Chains A and B, each alone.
Chain A
């Protein structure tokens, strides 16, 4: 087993475990922290796939900015205690079963996919470098890029409309 493979398995196990912890932690703060761990492990995967730009953005934007925002809101609301009353157990079970079934169905559907023999290029390939992505982004993808600015404008207006005290 090469180091890449070891890393892959390690990161995968961490991602899955931390994801499970996200949904099972009683305390919202822990959930947030576990989610950050998940993001970090996913970023690790990105680095493994030589997608450095995304790895960095993931950490900066997601693990950094967004999760801090979450933490901030949770703190603001004083939800850092284990306040969540137990949900109806049957409903919880049903939810878990349904999600599990979906997983099963998807796995069953995709296990025989025609591209299962193919490989993802690991550690190599430079398309994930900031230079190459940037070039593409500002040439071919400039229109979507501009469009996303409209999205941001509307989100901004929205946040103001919603957040502003009357």
Chain B
């Protein structure tokens, strides 16, 4: 049934057409027209994605090749899409969440004037296009195209309000940090090409598994490639050390944060590693690195989130932390758990971001939670959905977050007890800071200005409906992966993904242990929530001090990077520009000219004008030449 899948090219193409229409026609189209095009194309993609999903579910997974993107010598890189179980899930997440956020955006961005509105939607469509390319690509190069494409859109959207230079700085930072990862990704691709001679997933995995005899893919190669790919993933998925761009990326409009910096783009790294699971499984070193980095990121980001006061910053660090969890899952071999968490995270994090958007909208742009409080009365829907999101992320059963997080924790537990301990602690912190956020925002007294209080209102339906849908998804989303101990065959996700992600060896954990762990984590989470309630029910503003200040300042990581990387490079550039370039290299070049000039001035003096000197010089040279001829050259 290859023919049937042939039309999947429409899935990315439609958003791209939307991008073209909105981009080129932004000065001419009305806002409603723009919204229609923007949402419509995504909706069409969504429909097609659902169709593709059904096809895949019916066993029609496969690859469709359109043309050769690059064909040089032995190397052929086809422009091909691969639609299989993994990409189908991501297609659904991207188009589904993407569609909701598009709809939400029509209301959220309504105050923008028409050209900028069009620009916004075209970028958003372009993003969806790139993201779809990323997950549909049948080889690493097409994936990379999408990979860089989403980075570009992220850049464009972070800097959407380009009149503020700090936003643009944040956009630049995001792009550059992504590029660092991208470079590693690229080198990995080249490495693969040098060993495999191709970049198609199928070929690469076949060689790795030793199915192709004349090609060699040694363990070292695999380790190098996987590590390089992982560096790429750290850039895109905001892991240590390349995570600092993500909080800054909150400069963009909130729906963008929801879509790009929470639900989809940042999970590209997870997707990539899950896609390459065959390679990773063959390299324990890489796996460990992934797990450790993921865990460290999760912990670090969680600690930072404890003390953040910007509503979006808290969510951003929470995202980084959750991504860390996903990498922990990948590193411990629980690829399915990671994908599962990607999905649930997409729901509840999008929900939380959109909810925060709703809050910000209501507050007239205010983002500092210290100036909020007691909003639950005015923003009922927002409050309830936000609460759902918080519960989901905290991992309280039976909301979606519980199932996915539990799978991860379980995997960590089987892998390493210390890791489990840290992961559990991090999960507790998550519950704490999320509810801190919730309580500071919605309970207590309103702490903002009179004007803001007067202005408070619930958001329009275009914003609340997506919130509600996402809340529902956050509640029920976990049911695709119910652990086997509850319902036999409940883990539909693992079964569904098994063609792409081979079944891992069964957990060697007894049922009782598993139950105990679940109970433990659930209990701890509830305890944390209560602790947060006590602490932040009636919040009073106070300056952070001591360790708190360190956390508030994000462990001074940005400052550190600035000091050890950015400034030295900047200084080096200045040194090269003003000293090396001008004095040394150009100095040499000009020096030759100067020497000639100086020589000219000096040799000119030989021409003294005195006949006597001329004859003297002539006779002297004659003597010299005679001497050379008769005495020196023998």
Contact = CB atoms under 8 A, between A and B. Distances in A.
A and B touch in the complex (CB under 8 A): yes
Interface of A: 87, 91, 94-95, 98-99, 101-102, 105-106, 108-109
Nearest to A110: B630
19 contacts: A87-B612, A91-B612, A91-B613, A91-B616, A95-B615, A95-B616, A98-B619, A98-B623, A101-B620, A101-B623, A102-B622, A102-B623, A105-B623, A105-B627, A105-B630, A106-B626, A108-B631, A109-B626, A109-B630
Contacts of B620: 98, 101
Nearest to B617: A98
Interface in B602-618: 612-613, 615-616
Main secondary structure of the interface of B (DSSP, over half): helix
A100 to B, nearest CB: 10
Given A98-B619, A98-B620, A98-B623, A108 B612 contact: no
A94 B619 CA distance: 10
Given A95-B612, A98-B620, 7 more contacts: A91-B612, A95-B615, A98-B616, A101-B623, A102-B619, A105-B630, A108-B630
A109 B613 CA distance: 26
Contacts of B630: 105, 108-109
B633 to A, nearest CB: 13
Interface string B97-122: 00000000000000000000000000
Interface in B575-634: 612-613, 615-616, 619-620, 622-623, 626-627, 630-631
A38 to B, nearest CB: 21
A94 B620 CA distance: 9
B626 A94 contact: no
Contacts of A99: 619
Nearest to A106: B626
Nearest to B626: A105
Contacts of B613: 91
A109 B626 CA distance: 8
Nearest to B620: A98
Nearest to A94: B616
Interface residues of B, number: 12
A94 B612 CA distance: 11
Contacts of A105: 623, 626-627, 630
Nearest to A101: B623
A126 B622 CA distance: 38
Interface in B551-595: none
Contacts of A98: 616, 619-620, 623
Nearest to B630: A109
B612 to A, nearest CB: 6
A97 B623 CA distance: 11
A162 to B, nearest CB: 19
Nearest to B621: A98
A52 B539 CA distance: 137
A115 B1 CA distance: 109
Sorted nearest first, the 9 A-B pairs with minimum C-beta distance are A105-B626, A98-B619, A101-B623, A109-B630, A98-B620, A102-B623, A105-B623, A95-B616, A102-B619
A106 B627 CA distance: 9
Residue among B613, B615, B626 having the largest count of chain A Cβ atoms under 10 Å: B626
A141 B627 CA distance: 38
A99 B622 CA distance: 10
B616 A102 contact: no
Nearest to A102: B623
A105 B622 CA distance: 10
A102 B627 CA distance: 9
A99 B620 CA distance: 8
Nearest to B615: A95
Contacts of B612: 87, 91, 95
B631 to A, nearest CB: 8
A40 to B, nearest CB: 28
A109 B629 CA distance: 10
Contacts of B616: 91, 94-95, 98
A110 B456 CA distance: 118
A32 B616 CA distance: 24
A141 to B, nearest CB: 31
A109 B616 CA distance: 21
A87 B619 CA distance: 18
Contacts of B615: 95
Contacts of B623: 98, 101-102, 105
Contacts of B619: 95, 98-99, 102
A101 B612 CA distance: 17
B215 to A, nearest CB: 78
Nearest to B622: A102
Contacts of B631: 108
A101 B622 CA distance: 10
A101 B625 CA distance: 12
A77 to B, nearest CB: 18
Interface in B493-531: none
A98 B621 CA distance: 9
B581 to A, nearest CB: 48
Nearest to A95: B616
A106 B630 CA distance: 10
A63 to B, nearest CB: 26
A94 B626 CA distance: 18
